[in-house]
């Protein structure tokens, strides 16, 4: 398990993860992974989970952001934020590796 500071979770996202985890009685660990598909080629997937042996881990305010080694190449250097807007609230990935994205903000291409 490595600590990579180039993958970050904002304080806003950390507070939201902690709140959700507390309500569900789970660990404050947000897993970010990338799946093939989505309207732009790849899609982000978020889940509460546990830290696995090969995960890359970044900590913010006592909350862990974990990424599996396969997804890491596509999200290295990213920032995960939690935004509340008129249209709703969601986790948002600011990914410097993405060449383009879609309107929904949950898929991207490289």
How confident is the prediction along the chain (110 residues), in pLDDT tens digits per residue?
A: 444 448 999 999 999 999 999 999 999 999 999 887 656 578 889 999 899 999 999 999 999 999 999 899 889 899 999 998 877 888 888 888 776 555 555 555 55
Per the structure, the complete domain to which residue 25 belongs is given by 2-109
Domain count across the chain: 1
Tokens of 29: 């660990």
- Asked whether the beta carbons of 2 and 56 are under 8 A apart, the reply is yes
pTM of the model: 0.81
Domain CATH for 90: 2.60.300.12
Query: Could you tell me the two tokens for 101?
Result: 């994205």
Kind of pairing between the strands at 29-36 and 63-67:
parallel
CA distance 78 to 71: 12
């Amino acid at each position: 398990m490595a600590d990579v500071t180039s993958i970050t979770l904002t304080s806003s996202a950390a507070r939201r993860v902690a709140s959700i985890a507390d309500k569900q009685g789970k660990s404050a660990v947000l897993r970010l992974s990338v799946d093939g598909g989505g309207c732009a080629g790849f899609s982000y997937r978020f889940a509460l989970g546990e830290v696995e042996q090969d995960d890359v881990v970044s900590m913010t305010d006592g909350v862990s952001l974990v990424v599996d080694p396969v997804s890491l190449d596509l999200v290295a250097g990213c920032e995960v934020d939690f935004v509340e807007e008129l249209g709703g609230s969601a986790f948002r990935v600011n990914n410097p590796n993405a060449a383009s994205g879609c309107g929904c903000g949950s898929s991207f291409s490289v």
